Amino acid sequence: MQTMTNPASPIATILRPLRPRDPEEHHRVATPLELLFDLVSVIAIASAAAGLHHAIAENHAAQGVMTFIMAFFAIWWAWMNFTWFSSAYDNDDVAYRLLTMVAMGGSLTIAAGIPALFTETPNFTMVIFGYAIMRIAMIVLWLRAAYHDPECRRTAIAYAGGIFLCQILWLSFLALQPLAFGISYVVWAIGVLLEILVPTIAEPLTKNTPWHRHHIIERYGLLNIIVLGETLLSGSTALRQASGHFDIMLVHTAISALVIVFALWWAYFAREEQLGSHKLSRSLQWGYSHFFIFASGAAVGAGFAVLVDIITHHSEIPLLAGDYAVAIPVAVFYASLRFVRDRFAGIGLARYALLVFGLLGLAAPAAGLGLEGIAAAAVLGVVVRNRPAARRPTQTHNGH
């Protein structure tokens, strides 16, 4: 007679089978561990936004934007891969928690290394090491999933193998340092292409991994809220500067930051669901395109920080450049949201509202309307976009 392991035993708590979760599970919400993971990730995002802020303020906008994109991809891609994996396989045993904490350590290492990227001769060492730590943790998690989920074994092994090969490329890139910034960007672009190909190759090998649609939507929404907090922080900085030496422009900047972040939040959290199906092509497009939403949301905060520097005479660039440091990421945020959601869920001409008003916000600084014009365009975009939804009859869960 076989002896069965007691589910309450210490071994069962430390190491449980990493079996797939039910993709239709009711009341599935973000776990405290996932929220901690988000918090750690946003520390790295804040570091990247700070680097972008200083690069623009020092009149190195082009290189600053490229470096910001490189750094942000490392943070976001590792976050995204973990988020979709945990939606499908989180069993909350000790091994899973420890591997997740290893990934968090990698994220903090990335955060510590980001300032070295925003220099005349970028140093990628800590960022690549931190990224490799995060990805090695993911390799182990995928191998655990491959062992315990026979139906998705080929997919899980493909994920583990693909991530491993990409890490060889990144570590080889590190061994070739120092490289000129332009060459580094080309090698980075090749690495990014290989990284984004991994899910597109792995997922079709068997059935899709059993991620939970509503859980994924919630996870993305939560990160978006945290990223938008960068703009609120910049608004708070403006008010703090104004309290020491009153300047109506700083108060105006703080109010504009508040209005714009509320508009971005309202635009994102509309009544229509972000992701309407489990179809692979749709989910990949939705998941990947959020890079531009998250990156632009963080860049809005960097733009407001630049404006504070200009107003307080800590930067010599013109005020118009500071206005565009806000207007451009707001326009990208709206255009990306239109691409990700509104072209599928929008009604009539309202599906173009965010794109149109994002472009109007871009025109506002050149027309002499400054932050008021950008904020007004952001608010009007939300109003026009959401009016058809407000007139639509409320639906119950059964669709009647």
What is the structure's pLDDT at 311? 86
- Cα-Cα-Cα-Cα dihedral sign, residues 271, 276, 281, 284: positive
Binned at pLDDT 50, 70 and 90, residue 23 comes out as confident
Cα torsion 95, 99, 101, 103 to 10°: value is: -170
Q: What percent of the chain has pLDDT over 70?
A: 89
- Cβ atoms of 142 and 203 within 8 Å: the answer is no
Residues 6 or more apart whose CB falls under 8 angstroms from that of 160 comprise 139, 142, 143, 146
Going by pLDDT thresholds of 50, 70 and 90, the confidence category of residue 163 is very high
Asked if pLDDT for residue 203 goes beyond 80, the answer is yes
- CB–CB of 56/302 below 8 Å? yes
Give dist(CA 304, CA 325) in Å, integer. 7
The span from the CA of 325 to the CA of 62, in Å, is 12
CB atoms within 10 A of CB 174: 15
pLDDT digits (tens, 9 = 90+) for 259-292: 999 999 999 998 777 777 778 888 888 999 999 9
pLDDT at 396 > cutoff 90: no
**pLDDT tier, 389 (very low <50, low <70, confident <90, very high otherwise):** low
- Separation CA 366–CA 362 (nearest Å): 8
> What is the rounded average pLDDT of the residues 235-239?
63
Q: Higher confidence at residue 251 or residue 233?
A: 251
3-class SS string, the chain: CCCCCCCCCHHHHHCCCCCCCCCCCCCCCCCHHHHHHHHHHHHHHHHHHHHHHHHHHCCCHHHHHHHHHHHHHHHHHHHHHHHHHHHHHCCCCHHHHHHHHHHHHHHHHHHHHHHHHCCCCCCCHHHHHHHHHHHHHHHHHHHHHHHHCHHHHHHHHHHHHHHHHHHHHHHHHHHCCCCCHHHHHHHHHHHHHHHHHHHHHHHHHCCCCCCCHHHHHHHHHHHHHHHHHHHHHHHHHHHHHHHHCCCHHHHHHHHHHHHHHHHHHHHHCCCCCCCCCCCHHHHHHHHHHHHHHHHHHHHHHHHHHHHHHHHCCCCCCCHHHHHHHHHHHHHHHHHHHHHHHHHHHCCHHHHHHHHHHHHHHHHHHHCCCHHHHHHHHHHHHHHHHHHHHHHCCCCCCCCC
Say which CATH topology domain 213-390 has.
I/LWEQ domain (1.20.1410)
Residue 182 banded pLDDT, cuts 50, 70, 90: confident
**Which range has the worst mean pLDDT, 111-115, 247-251, 337-341?**
247-251
Q: Which residue has the higher pLDDT, 352 or 164?
A: 164
Peptide bond connecting 178 to the previous residue in cis, omega within 30 degrees of 0: yes
Annotated domain spans of the chain:
30-205, 213-390
| Alpha-carbon Rg for the chain in angstroms | 22
Over residues 314-340, the mean pLDDT reads 92
pLDDT of the residue at 271: 78
Q: What is the pLDDT at residue 397?
A: 36
Q: What is the pLDDT of residue 3?
A: 39
User: Which pLDDT value is given to residue 12?
Assistant: 60
